[in-house]
Chain A
Amino acid sequence: MLDTIILVLDSTFRLSTPLLFACLAGLFSERSGIVDIGLEGKILGSAFAAAAAAYVFQSPWIGLLAGIFVSVLLALIHGYASITQRGNQVVSGVAINFLAAGLTVLLGQAWFSQGGRTPALDSASRFNNIELPFADALADFPVFGPIYANLISGHNILVYASFAAVPLVWWIVFRTRFGLRLRAVGENPSAADTAGLSVTLLRYRATIICGILCGFSGAYLSVAQGAGFIKDMSAGKGFIALAALIFAKWKPVNAMFTCLLFGFLDALAIRLQGQEIPGIGEVPVQVFQALPYVLTVVLLAGFIGRAIPPKASGIPYVKERT
Chain B
Amino acid sequence: MSKGQLPRWVDFGLLPALNLIAAFIVSGLVVVIIGEDPFEAVKWLVWGALGYGEGIGYTLYYATNFIFTGLAVAVAFHAGLFNIGGEGQAYVGGLGIALACLALDRFIPWWVTFPFAIAGGALFGAAWAFIPAYLQAKRGSHIVITTIMFNFIASALMVYLLSNILIPQGTMSPSSRNFEAGGQLPLLRNVFTSFDFGQSPVNLAFFLALAVCVVVWLLIWHTKLGYEIRSFGKNPDAAAYAGISPVRITIITMLISGALAGLMGINVVMGEQTRLLLDFAGGAGFVGIAVALMGRGHPIGIILAAMLFGLLYQGGAELAFEIPTISRDMIVVIQALVILFAGALEHMFRPAVVAFFDRFSSDTAEA
A-B interaction = yes
- What residues of chain A have their CB less than 8 Å away from a CB belonging to chain B? 35, 37, 77, 80-82, 85-92, 94-99, 101-103, 105-107, 109-110, 116, 236, 239, 242-243, 246, 284, 286-287, 289-290, 293-294, 296-297, 300-302, 307, 309
Residues of A within 8 A of B335 (CB): 98, 102
Residues of A within 8 A of B164 (CB): 284
A239 touching B339 in the complex, CB below 8 Å, given contacts A87-B347, A91-B289, A301-B135: no
**Which of A81, A92, A102, A293 lies in contact with B332, CB distance below 8 A?**
A102
Can you list 29 pairs linking A and B with CB atoms under 8 Å apart? A37-B84, A37-B144, A77-B340, A85-B348, A86-B347, A89-B344, A91-B289, A98-B332, A98-B339, A101-B329, A102-B329, A102-B332, A102-B333, A105-B332, A106-B30, A106-B326, A110-B34, A110-B35, A242-B148, A246-B145, A289-B152, A293-B156, A294-B153, A297-B131, A297-B149, A300-B145, A300-B146, A302-B141, A309-B142
Residues of A within 8 A of B336 (CB): 95-99, 101-102
Question: Which 9 residue pairs across A and B have the least CB separation, nearest first?
Answer: A102-B332, A98-B336, A92-B344, A300-B141, A102-B333, A87-B344, A290-B156, A91-B343, A99-B336
Q: Once the chains are docked, how many angstroms separate the CA of A103 from the CA of B331?
A: 10
Do residues A102 and B330 form an inter-chain contact, with CB atoms below 8 A?
Answer: yes
Residues of B within 8 A of A290 (CB): 152-153, 156-157
Residues of A within 8 A of B196 (CB): none
* B234 CB → nearest A CB, Å: 16
Residues of B within 8 A of A94 (CB): 84, 286, 289, 339, 343
Contact bitstring B135-162, A, C-beta under 8 A = 1, else 0: 1000111101110111011001101100
Contacts A85-B344, A286-B159, A297-B141 given; 8 further ones with Cβ under 8 A?
Answer: A77-B340, A81-B345, A82-B344, A92-B344, A98-B335, A109-B327, A297-B135, A309-B142
Do residues B329 and A106 form an inter-chain contact, with CB atoms below 8 A?
Answer: yes
Residues of A within 8 A of B330 (CB): 102, 106
Do residues A284 and B289 form an inter-chain contact, with CB atoms below 8 A?
Answer: no
**Which of B33, B84, B160, B286 lies in contact with A98, CB distance below 8 A?**
B286
Q: Is B216 an interface residue (CB 8 A)?
A: no
**Which of B140, B152, B286, B325 lies in contact with A110, CB distance below 8 A?**
B325
Q: Is B180 an interface residue (CB 8 A)?
A: no
Q: Is B260 an interface residue (CB 8 A)?
A: no
* A47 CB → nearest B CB, Å: 15
* B11 CB → nearest A CB, Å: 17
Do residues A242 and B145 form an inter-chain contact, with CB atoms below 8 A?
Answer: yes
Residues of B within 8 A of A105 (CB): 327, 329, 332
Q: Once the chains are docked, how many angstroms separate the CA of A35 from the CA of B144?
A: 11
* A157 CB → nearest B CB, Å: 31
* B160 CB → nearest A CB, Å: 4
Q: Is B63 an interface residue (CB 8 A)?
A: no
Residues of B115-144 contacting chain A, CB below 8 A = 131, 135, 139-142, 144
Do residues B326 and A87 form an inter-chain contact, with CB atoms below 8 A?
Answer: no
Do residues B331 and A102 form an inter-chain contact, with CB atoms below 8 A?
Answer: yes
Q: Is B358 an interface residue (CB 8 A)?
A: no
Residues of B within 8 A of A87 (CB): 343-347
Do residues B327 and A106 form an inter-chain contact, with CB atoms below 8 A?
Answer: yes
**Which of A95, A116, A246 lies in contact with B344, CB distance below 8 A?**
A95
Residues of A within 8 A of B326 (CB): 106, 110
Q: Once the chains are docked, how many angstroms separate the CA of A98 from the CA of B337?
A: 8
Q: Which of B84, B139, B344, B345 has the most CB of A within 10 A?
A: B344
Residues of B83-109 contacting chain A, CB below 8 A = 84
**Which of A95, A294, A301 lies in contact with B340, CB distance below 8 A?**
A95
Residues of B314-344 contacting chain A, CB below 8 A = 325-327, 329-337, 339-340, 343-344
* B260 CB → nearest A CB, Å: 19
Residues of B within 8 A of A106 (CB): 30, 34, 326-327, 329-330, 332-333
A297 touching B152 in the complex, CB below 8 Å, given contacts A102-B332, A116-B329: no
* B93 CB → nearest A CB, Å: 18
Residues of B within 8 A of A88 (CB): 82, 343-344
Q: Once the chains are docked, how many angstroms separate the CA of A140 from the CA of B201?
A: 66
Q: Once the chains are docked, how many angstroms separate the CA of A110 from the CA of B152?
A: 31
Do residues A109 and B329 form an inter-chain contact, with CB atoms below 8 A?
Answer: yes
